[in-house]
Amino acid sequence: MSRHLEVFARSMNDLDDHLPKSRGRCFDIGSWGGCGINCAAFIDGECEEPQEIDISNLSEEHGEEEAERIIKLYKL
What pLDDT, on the 0 to 100 scale, is given for residue 2? 72
Range of the domain at 50: 2-74
What pLDDT, on the 0 to 100 scale, is given for residue 21? 87
Q: Which long-range contacts (CB under 8 A, 24 or more apart) does 43-46 make?
A: 43/2, 43/70, 45/70, 45/73, 45/74
What pLDDT, on the 0 to 100 scale, is given for residue 75? 85
Count up the domains in the chain and report the number. Answer: 1
CA 39 to CA 31: how far, in whole Å? 12
pLDDT digits 0-9 by tens, 15-72: 999 999 889 999 999 999 889 999 999 999 999 999 999 999 999 999 999 999 999 9
What pLDDT, on the 0 to 100 scale, is given for residue 1? 52
37, 52, 41, 36: which is closest to 6 by C-alpha?
41
What pLDDT, on the 0 to 100 scale, is given for residue 19? 93
What pLDDT, on the 0 to 100 scale, is given for residue 22? 87
